[in-house]
Structure 1
Amino acid sequence: MDLRIYQEDGHGNAVDEHGNEPVEMEVDVDGYPLADTVDFDSYMEFKPPEKPEASIKANKMVSTAASGPVSYYKKHGDDVKGHFFYLVYEEGLTAGKAGKQLGIARRTAYDWLKKDQDLIVESRDGLETKKTEKKVGRPALLNEEHKKHLEETFIDHPSATLDQAIESLTNQFSELKVTKTTVYNFMTEKCALSFKKAHFHSKERNSPVSIEKRFDWITRWIQTDMDYNSNCVFIDESAFHINLKRTMAWSKKGTRAEVIQPLTRAKTTTILGAISPYGIVNVKIRVPYSAASKKRKTVGGSKMQKSIGTVTGHYFNFIASTIDVMDRHEEFKGHYIIMDNAPIHTSDNIRKFIESRGYGCVYLPPYSPELNPIEQFWSVVKSKLKREKLLEAENLNTRITEACQNVLISDLKGFCRYSESKFETCLNKNPL
């Protein structure tokens, strides 16, 4: 038992010998149960081996000497392609950056992306692209004026279709007669527009107030010893369910990409996680509340209310569990625990508890997921779940555990570097 003696500090406050105020919450594993999945010890025992730097660049080389001089190309499997499109469509990387990260030649990466976008546009708009020889001497139908109009159109309406783009052009330029293929080629080649997964965020994310709060937050914390790459643990929760599907899908040319969804909505599972550049610190699953088959009244005739979502009690239990893990490992001594400012995170008792255990408590500015590396961790874990269809006999908890165990330490370090790289954006008061 942790016995603490508190005394009055001269200002009417009760504090212990270290100046910490008493915490008015305690761990309640029965009232707010969490299921174990991964902690630092199990992660370090079962994590996959890191990929040597040389092996990333030296993929299997295949000779193509059938015609002419000997040349070589890198043979990439479906897993590599799947990871490439995940980085482009889910993480928002350019084809060049995604290719560099996976050891794919720049030209190959852009070729993959162009072919995939052609398939997407054809499927969505019924466009049939044809490779034809360029006709010499034929004047271009679209010019700089049309380019400016299209760029302004897609800035205001990024989800507009090709049909809508053509309608906008012909409304503005009444004499213009142009085909879908011509507009598509002009958009991709002259306007440098590309079709990709849309990322939605709230209007407040890049409001002047949010940008200013991020600037103030970065300005404050860069003056301390807080370092994303050496002394921070990042915490957050995310929702998972058995019906997770990729946001993009393959289909035959000219047909819609359709994915059959189950008739019943899957039960959502909340997972709480803590990661660091040294490894996964702690991951637990909130045990779902199962409603009784028959409604029963409690004594006195009133109905007992049960919270369905994650509440402060679950989060407090998770924080306590995470700190217990950190206490067992010297590399986490004195670390900062970083989390967003969601209401269940900002209870004063949580801050007091963290500080009483010898760790720093840091809340991120609002609408700033890019500053929390664990957001990328969740994306990667979910992508691993989406790759394979869950079998009925399988347990989602088991699959979440396996997905977490397959995240490399180099990936975790990369997540931290990425979020830290956004500090400059915030200091320049640019949108995230």
Structure 2
Amino acid sequence: MESMLTEISDPNVVLETITSQKSYLSLKPAEKETTAKDSIKKAMEVVKKAASTKTTTTKPERYLLTECSRVLRKEKVTLHAKDLGINSRTAMRWWKHYQETGKLAYEKWQRNPGLPNSLTPGHEQHIQQIIEKDSQLCADDIIDSLKQQFEDLKISKTQMNHYLRNNMLISIKKSTFDLMTRSSDNNLQTRYERFMKWKYSDLGYTKNCVFIDEAALRIGKQKKPCRRQRAKSRQHYY
């Protein structure tokens, strides 16, 4: 390698022995730095190139362009179409359609509201009454009661639950309190007298008796879900 370097006859080539990495880095030519401005410029060129060949776009962009066609002149339509990534011919077709008919070529997209609601304030009043009587009614029970009261009523279980939840603000809540009869004064007094009667007898809880209390075993006292009015006073139905 050294013999090859010594045979160089070009006077412009200067040979210098590099002894350390520091000296190598000092002699190394500086690399061209890429600034943020250059990277943004390249990205814009790529986006413009993709926009010129793109023929489809999202619904909001299409609606925006058709809205702009009301006030834009013919020569401005193509420029705005390129910014939105819409084909220029498509934009001109929309612009001509508005100039001829006065209507937008692409209407604003709206969410499908579904089937029209068939329930009236009279139905709501009937639902409120039967729920106040029995808060553990399911959607099928409410529909059956409505059909008995009102003829020619057609509504599905899904529509009923949606109407109860969103229109009447009635939702299914899990019971978190015990029955009122369980904690009533008469019931508590009876249980207290029974305890005092056998307190000083020879009965032993671990020897000669079996004591059954609903507080421990909760036989037949499972809490069932019920319907409750939302956005009102804290009133629970049981």
- TM-score relative to the length of structure 2: 0.30
Looking at CA atoms only, which structure, 1 or 2, has the larger radius of gyration? Answer: 2
Bigger relative contact order (CA 8 A; separation at least 6): 1
Name the TM-score, length of structure 1 as normaliser: 0.18
Structure with more of its chain in strand, by fraction = 1
Structure number with the higher helix fraction is 2
